[in-house]
């Protein structure tokens, strides 16, 4: 049972941080309780009644508890209002004895619903008023000190953990425990010493001491992480790389001359930065952040051309095959004859651009591999498959990773270790990353921001279409799409999933609203989501509950295709579907057809989420928009508004107004500013989601540290890490810190770093 909590050693126990403190006399509010979840709460017993069971042998003890401190004499005993809860114990003679009116106790168990009221059956309990309470660790912890409540499970309850922690304390010889936090740092911030910090973490004399102790551990964690990252970054910066200085009159210069637009000042200054980075004898390691449509591709392409001019090859990695194919096509188009060296009509001074993806036909793949190995191909576009061992580059000088958040430190390292010389690296992302998150996740990269959008772009108007309130609007959506296509523009219809395994429902969207609204299971979940969304701390649970509802009833591309086919408004419109289940050649053909304007309406999933660039597409309808996250919607919407025409995005929802997931679509409709949306997103969920899923269950990778809340600590730790490494690069004189980093990296941070 210790397994499920990962509590195996004394150290694990000491590091198991109480979730919260309960002040003595203070009761936990029942309002926060989630159904079907394990809960630990402190409550006051109102009444205890034991009676024989009618149909079975034995007795049942009903314990009414309350979350409002009150004198039970004034209370109607049978009342179970919202501030009361009835717990049932079967054959619980001790409970009947130990729990009596007025007693404060810790209860833990699963919260369930019985006859419409919340209840717990046979919960674990521990009376709090007893002399020997749950594990005094310290003389300071007297009757007035708060009670820690630990993250617990049904079997390993909070008070048992407290008892184990108390036992663990007696095992520790503090003089042998290294303190990872250098004394100078601890002093500067006025943190208590390590043993005191641990004591205050588990049994603080008051709340303030608890927060100080936690701050110390957070700071320690931040320092370990930052020291690891700064050290890694310095090591990487020392690696040799082939310098790729600009070449006058090279392909880059000629490309610049034929560019159909002026580079924005931001593009120019980031470009200069990259030119400088590439000229160095050490690898560039740069993250380029720029909102959707900011024009990152041309910046990357110019860097790649500089590499080619200097005699090296450049690889561009895209997250999907569709995007790789699109990049390949658009780079070839942008370069024109410059990309066709060695062919008739090609520029002999130019280079070649090849595409390499996993699903290419064998013969094409062979040809591509050959051009890559021989060095004929200056620019290679592909998916991550490009980094596999079978792909031999002639002279790989620069790697550009587009729109990729999952390209973690691990992959970056693999790339660097590939040969004697490390290639230069440019990672591009459209997800605005708050600075401290960037410092934690991409702490080994330099960061450039491509501000603003290239001029001449038309704004995107976004509307929320609530079919629940306005079922008639469904017809209008199709009509609008028709108008757009007739005006020569193109349209995206986006659905959250591909198809259902059962039959496509024979109903319109508006009809389906009723079905959705009536689905009892969804309704129950929605209600619980609503409840949890009430408290700000719980809003994440709310949005997740919405996102995790079963796929049933979700609009699929298949359903949409049928609706489109049946829609008189869209009769005769050339339509195609694009989604992940299609074969690669079909995907590519569809994308090319859409890019060429042959397809008017593209029914798709989020395969178009990133990067796809069809300037003539001006109308996007996202169905069941409430199924998507904020940044996903923002990315999707970035597929329109790319040309000279005004664009419109409709976020269609069948949810009723007031549903928590509508907050997200309202936020997206309210602004097109990526940074503003990122902020809205972060207030709706915690940064755990940015960093990845591993944070959710059990122990989080960032244990105490919260990249958003702990800005000051992280910035200060970064500074301290640099100072420490300046004077002690091998951490010889900071062995407590060195050991802690090693253990930290060993355990689960490896995973975290890989995830990037
Ligand atoms: P993202 O940063 O999202 O990858 P892209 O690189 O795809 O954006 O650029 C979006 C669109 O803007 C493309 O069609 C591109 O050709 C165009 N573009 C890029 N830079 C400029 C510029 N300086 N002036 C006008 N259009 C530009
Ligand atoms: Mg892009």
Q: Which residues contact 731 (CB under 8 A, 6 or more apart)?
A: 227, 231, 724, 725, 737, 738, 741
Of residues 8 and 289, more confidently modeled: 289
Q: Who has greater pLDDT, 534 or 346? A: 346
Neighbours of ion ligand 2 (CB under 5 A): 611
**531 or 254: whose pLDDT is higher?**
254
Report the pLDDT value the prediction gives residue 417, as an integer from 0 to 100. 66
Give the pLDDT mean for 646-660: 90
pLDDT tens digits, 346-386: 888 899 999 998 888 899 999 999 999 999 999 999 987 78
* pLDDT at position 138: 41
Q: Whose CA is nearest to atom 15 of ligand 1?
A: 295
pTM: 0.64
Ligand 1 atom 23, closest CA? 263
How many other CB atoms are there within 10 angstroms of residue 60's CB atom?
A: 17
pLDDT for 405: 57
Q: Report residue 505's pLDDT band, with 50, 70 and 90 as the boundaries.
A: low
User: pLDDT band at residue 276, thresholds of 50, 70 and 90?
Assistant: very high
* Ligand index nearest the alpha carbon of residue 450: 1
Return the structure tokens found at 284.
Answer: 């560039």
Q: Which pLDDT score, from 0 to 100, does residue 500 have?
A: 67
Q: Is the pLDDT reported for residue 611 higher than 70?
A: no
Nearest to 105 by CA among 176, 162, 174, 25: 25
**pLDDT in the model for residue 456:** 62
Q: Indicate whether residue 264 lines ligand 1 (CB < 6 A).
A: yes
Q: Which listed ligand is nearest to 288 at the C-alpha?
A: 1
- Work out the angle between the directed axes of helices 509-518 and 520-534 (0-180°, nearest 10): 70
CA of 296 to the centre of ligand 2 (A): 6
The mean pLDDT value for 687-705 works out to 39
> What percent of the chain clears pLDDT 70, i.e. is strictly above it?
78
Nearest residue (CA) to ligand 1, atom 21: 454
Model confidence at 332: pLDDT above 90? yes
- Which atom of ligand 1 lies closest to the CA of 643? 14
pLDDT of 292 > 70? The answer is yes
Ligand nearest to the CA of 301: 1
Phi, psi of 609 (to 5 degrees): -60, -40
pLDDT at site 367: 94
Average pLDDT, stretch 226-232?
Answer: 87
Contact 416, 444 (CB under 8 A): no
Q: What pLDDT sits at residue 298?
A: 96
Q: Is 297's C-beta closer than 6 angstroms to any atom of ligand 1?
A: yes
Inform me whether the pLDDT recorded for 558 exceeds 80. yes
Question: Which of the listed ranges 126-135, 217-226, 299-308, 347-356 does the model predict with the highest average pLDDT?
Answer: 299-308
Which residues lie closer than 8 Å to 2 by C-beta, 6 or more apart?
A: 8, 156
Q: How far apart are CA 330 and CA 449, in angstroms?
A: 23
Residue 436 has a pLDDT of 64
Q: Which of 268, 270, 295, 609 to mutate to test the pocket of ligand 1 (most atoms within 8 A of CB)?
A: 295
3-state secondary structure 110-146: ECEEECCEEEEECCEEEECCCCCCCCCCCCCCCCCCC
Angle at 404 between CA 400 and CA 409, to 5 degrees: 80
- Residue having the nearest C-alpha atom to atom 1 of ligand 1: 293
Q: What is the mean pLDDT of residues 519-543?
A: 43
Where is average pLDDT lowest: 41-50, 252-261, 704-713? Answer: 704-713
Does ligand 1 come within 6 angstroms of the Cβ of 294? Answer: yes
As a whole number of angstroms, the distance between CA 728 and CA 744 comes to 20
- Whether 737 shows a pLDDT value over 60: the answer reads yes
Q: What's the CA gap between 309 and 298, in Å, rounded?
A: 16
Lowest mean pLDDT among 293-297, 498-502, 670-674: 498-502
Stated as kind and residue range, the H or E segment containing 291 is: none
**Residue carrying the six token digits 């086919």:** 565
What domains can you pick out in the chain, each with its CATH number?
2-172 (2.40.50.140), 175-234+710-749 (no CATH), 251-450 (3.40.50.300), 460-671 (3.40.50.300)
CA distance 68 to 62: 18
pLDDT at 492: 96
pLDDT at residue 486 is higher than 60 = yes
- According to the model, what pLDDT value does residue 404 have? 63
């Amino acid at each position: 049972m210790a397994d499920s909590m990962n509590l195996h050693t004394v150290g694990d126990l000491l590091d198991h941080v109480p979730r919260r403190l309960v002040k003595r006399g203070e009761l936990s509010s029942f309002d926060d309780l989630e159904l079907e979840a394990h809960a630990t709460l402190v409550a006051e017993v109102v009444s205890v009644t034991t009676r024989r069971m009618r149909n079975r042998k034995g007795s049942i003890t009903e314990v009414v508890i309350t979350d409002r401190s009150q004198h039970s004499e004034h209370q109607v005993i049978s009342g179970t209002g919202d501030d009361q809860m009835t717990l049932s114990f079967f054959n619980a003679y001790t409970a009947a004895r130990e729990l009596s009116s007025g007693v404060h106790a810790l209860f833990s168990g699963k919260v369930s619903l019985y006859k419409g009221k919340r209840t717990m059956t046979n919960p674990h309990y521990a009376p709090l008023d007893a002399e020997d309470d749950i594990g005094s660790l310290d003389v300071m912890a007297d009757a007035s000190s708060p009670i820690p409540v630990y993250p617990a499970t049904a079997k390993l309850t909070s008070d048992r953990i407290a008892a184990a922690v108390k036992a663990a304390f007696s095992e520790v010889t503090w003089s042998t425990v290294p303190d990872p936090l250098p004394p100078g740092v601890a002093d500067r911030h006025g943190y208590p010493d390590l043993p005191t910090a641990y004591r205050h973490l588990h049994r603080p004399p008051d709340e303030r001491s608890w927060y100080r102790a936690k701050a110390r551990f957070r700071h320690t964690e931040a320092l370990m992480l930052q020291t690891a990252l700064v050290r890694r970054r310095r090591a990487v910066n020392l690696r040799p790389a082939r310098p790729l200085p600009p070449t006058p009159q090279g392909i880059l210069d000629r490309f610049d001359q034929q560019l159909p637009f002026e580079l924005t000042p931001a593009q120019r200054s980031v470009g200069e930065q990259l030119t400088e980075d590439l000229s160095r004898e050490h690898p560039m390691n740069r993250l380029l952040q720029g909102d959707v449509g900011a024009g990152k591709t041309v910046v990357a392409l110019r860097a790649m051309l500089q590499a080619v001019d200097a005699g090296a090859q450049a690889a561009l990695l895209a997250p999907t095959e569709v995007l790789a194919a699109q990049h390949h096509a658009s780079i070839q188009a942008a370069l024109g004859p410059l990309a066709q060296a060695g062919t008739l009509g090609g520029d002999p001074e130019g280079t070649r651009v090849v595409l390499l993806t996993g699903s290419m036909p064998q013969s094409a793949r062979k040809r591509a591999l050959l051009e890559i190995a021989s060095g004929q191909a200056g620019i290679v576009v592909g998916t991550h498959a490009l980094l596999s061992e079978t792909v031999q580059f002639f002279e790989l000088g620069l790697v550009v990773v587009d729109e990729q958040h999952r390209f973690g430190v691990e992959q970056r390292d693999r790339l660097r270790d590939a040969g004697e010389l490390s290639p230069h690296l440019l990672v591009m992302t459209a997800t605005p990353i708050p600075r401290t998150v960037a410092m934690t996740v991409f702490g080994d990269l330099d960061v450039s921001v491509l501000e603003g959008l290239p001029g001449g772009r038309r704004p995107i108007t976004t509307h929320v279409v609530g079919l629940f309130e306005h079922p008639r609007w469904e017809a209008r959506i199709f009509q609008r799409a028709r108008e757009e296509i007739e005006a020569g523009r193109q349209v995206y219809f986006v659905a959250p999933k591909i198809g259902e395994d059962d039959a496509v429902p024979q109903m319109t969207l508006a009809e389906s609203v009723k079905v959705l609204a009536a689905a009892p299971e969804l309704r129950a979940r929605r209600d619980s989501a609503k409840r949890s969304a009430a408290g700000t701390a719980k809003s994440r649970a709310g949005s997740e509950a919405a996102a995790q509802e079963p796929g049933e009833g979700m609009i699929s591309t298949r359903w949409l295709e049928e609706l489109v086919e049946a829609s008189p408004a869209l009769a005769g419109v050339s339509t195609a579907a694009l989604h992940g289940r299609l074969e690669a050649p079909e995907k590519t053909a569809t994308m090319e057809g859409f890019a060429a304007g042959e397809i008017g309406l593209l029914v798709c999933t989020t395969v178009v989420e990133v990067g796809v660039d069809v300037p003539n597409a001006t109308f996007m309808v996202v169905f069941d928009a409430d199924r998507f996250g904020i940044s996903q919607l923002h990315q999707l919407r970035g597929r329109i508004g790319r040309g000279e025409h005004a664009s419109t995005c409709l976020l269609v929802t069948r949810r009723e107004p007031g549903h928590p997931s509508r907050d997200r679509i309202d936020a997206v409709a309210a602004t097109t500013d990526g940074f503003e949306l990122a902020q809205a997103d972060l207030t709706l969920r915690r940064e755990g989601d940015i960093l990845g899923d591993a944070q959710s269950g059990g122990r989080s990778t960032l244990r105490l540290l919260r990249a958003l809340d702990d800005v000051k600590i992280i910035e200060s730790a970064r500074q301290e890490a640099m100072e420490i490494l300046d004077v002690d690069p091998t951490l010889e004189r900071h062995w407590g810190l060195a050991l802690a980093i090693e253990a930290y990296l060993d355990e689960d941070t490896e995973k975290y770093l890989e995830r990037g």
